[in-house]
């Protein structure tokens, strides 16, 4: 298999060292990116992998950054780690890998997908991890998405996170602490739960995207989304990180199966993302993807390993952009879709408000206000939505941010006229590109 697979995206999830080197560039390139992004208010959260090192690779396989390693003897001189730093002696499974997710000890002390499992209970290992993360903090990152937290003991993570430096005062107020997003795949029915990690930082709520995808695919009614969040058994909103899809489950991995919505189902995807960004639950994350040729066999994509667009030497090809700012070629760049980036602004405008004045047709047409700052309507029926609804906004004309923008004092897409009582005639036709309409206080033409 490894003879066929070349430069998979998941090579970044099998560390050989803690050097900042990947196909995206070296440490100097990373520093330059962080500086430029911070200068314009864009914060960087690296995806930190320290649950494990590599899986089993032939001796002599080179690391991307040039470090040598021997996975069989668990020797990683680039850190350095040796066999003493891994969990083999603490794993109670016969194979050394996780065999039962009903055994919390196996989940946290045995090998995930055959990858050498670090012992975060070791003071030395913790020191190496903290050194790596603190180096990134000193460069200017704002925090971390921590991979595979489910497979580490919360007590060990607590020690590591408490050992992190304050953020770099060149970019952040003195005393600022790194923001932590922990990946914990919890679909229920296992002894390791996402709630065991909420005391340490925000935690991924994987049930969110699964439930939302199921609803928009027609397996549940949108009307039931009126209490979406804690009312569905999700994590408390103060601790949850929510998303429609991520890099794993858009490839059929990491929970969710065929219910997950991706860029391959763009109409549903834009509706679900608009709901996510419009709904007052959790800390939202949006996906930015690249396309790859799928090879579905027996429900599994044999090409799920394919990395980003590249040339014949497997160098990553940078995206190019059209006149509308969207990416061209195989870069999908959902964050550059108008229907998505305009909903990011919607979320900023309505921040601090809750949902109110919920309306639905008893099935798959819904609408709600966000205080007196914003209004969102969704039509996932096979027939048109034509309804006078309460928008909760002041009287005036507003531009729908899904179908267009405000330009030169007019709307490039649909406009909505709100009366003195806050109501407006809302129309979302099945013939339209998008099944969503959204207006907010900052897109008034008055």
In whole angstroms, give the CA distance from residue 109 to residue 96: 9
Ordered DSSP codes for 163-205: TPPPPPTTTS-TTPPPEEEE-----SSSSS-GGGGTTTSEEE-
Task: Tell me the β-bridge partners of 425.
Answer: 388
Nearest C-alpha neighbor of 147 from the set 178, 114, 119, 183: 183
In whole angstroms, give the CA distance from residue 281 to residue 241: 9
Residue of 85, 147, 156, 400 marked catalytic = 147
Residue of 117, 156, 183, 205 marked catalytic = 183
Q: Both tokens of residue 287?
A: 């996906």
Angle at 11 (CA atoms; ends 71, 31), nearest 5 degrees: 110
| 147 is a catalytic site residue | yes
Phi, psi of 203 (to 5 degrees): -130, 140
In whole angstroms, give the CA distance from residue 305 to residue 119: 28
Residues in the chain: 446
In whole angstroms, give the CA distance from residue 19 to residue 28: 11
The answer to whether the peptide bond before residue 267 is cis (omega within 30 degrees of 0) is no
- For residues 272 and 262, the answer to whether their CB atoms sit within 8 Å is no
Q: How many contiguous H segments (helices) and E segments (strands) does the chain have?
A: 7, 18
| 395 is a catalytic site residue | no
Tell how strand 179-182 and strand 143-146 pair up.
parallel
DSSP code for 30: H
Catalytic residues: 147, 183
């Amino acid at each position: 298999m490894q003879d066929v697979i070349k430069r998979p995206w998941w090579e970044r999830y099998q560390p050989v060292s803690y050097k900042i080197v990947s196909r995206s560039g070296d440490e100097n390139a990373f520093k330059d990116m962080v500086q430029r992004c911070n200068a314009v208010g864009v914060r960087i959260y690296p995806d930190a992998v320290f649950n494990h090192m590599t899986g089993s690779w032939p001796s002599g396989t080179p690391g991307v950054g040039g470090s040598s390693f021997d996975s069989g003897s668990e020797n990683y001189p680039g850190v350095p780690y040796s066999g003493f730093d891994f969990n083999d002696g603490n794993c109670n499974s016969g194979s050394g890998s996780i065999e039962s997710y009903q055994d919390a000890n196996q989940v946290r002390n045995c090998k995930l997908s055959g990858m050498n499992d670090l012992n975060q209970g070791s003071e030395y290992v913790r020191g190496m991890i903290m050194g790596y993360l603190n180096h990134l903090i000193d460069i200017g990152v704002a925090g971390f998405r921590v991979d595979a937290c489910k497979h580490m003991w919360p007590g060990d993570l607590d020690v590591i996170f408490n050992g992190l430096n304050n953020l770099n005062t060149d970019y952040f107020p003195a005393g600022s602490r790194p923001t932590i997003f922990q990946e914990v795949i919890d679909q229920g029915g296992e002894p390791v739960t996402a709630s065991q990690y909420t005391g340490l930082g925000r935690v991924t709520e994987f049930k969110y995207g699964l439930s939302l995808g199921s609803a928009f695919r027609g397996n549940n009614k949108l009307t039931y989304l009126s209490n979406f969040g804690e009312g569905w058994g999700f994590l408390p909103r103060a601790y949850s990180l929510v998303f429609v899809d991520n890099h794993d489950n858009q490839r059929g991995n990491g929970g969710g199966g065929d219910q997950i919505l991706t860029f391959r189902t763009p109409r549903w995807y834009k509706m679900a993302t608009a709901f996510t960004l419009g709904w007052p639950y959790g800390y939202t994350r949006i996906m930015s993807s690249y396309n790859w040729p799928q090879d579905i066999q027996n429900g599994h994509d044999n090409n799920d390993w394919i990395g980003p667009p590249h040339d014949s030497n497997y160098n990553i090809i940078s995206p190019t952009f059209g006149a509308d700012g969207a990416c061209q070629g195989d870069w999908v760049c959902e964050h550059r879709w108008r229907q998505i980036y305009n909903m990011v602004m919607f979320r900023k405008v309505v921040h601090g408000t809750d949902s109110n004045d919920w309306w639905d047709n008893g099935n798959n047409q819904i609408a709600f206000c966000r205080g007196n700052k914003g209004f969102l309507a969704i039509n996932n029926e096979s027939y048109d939505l034509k309804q006078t609804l309460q928008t909760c906004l002041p009287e005036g004309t507003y531009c729908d941010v899904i179908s267009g923008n405000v330009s030169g004092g007019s709307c490039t897409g649909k406009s909505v006229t709100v009366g003195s009582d806050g109501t407006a005639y809302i129309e979302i036709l099945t013939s339209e590109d998008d099944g969503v309409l959204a207006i907010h206080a900052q897109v008034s033409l008055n």
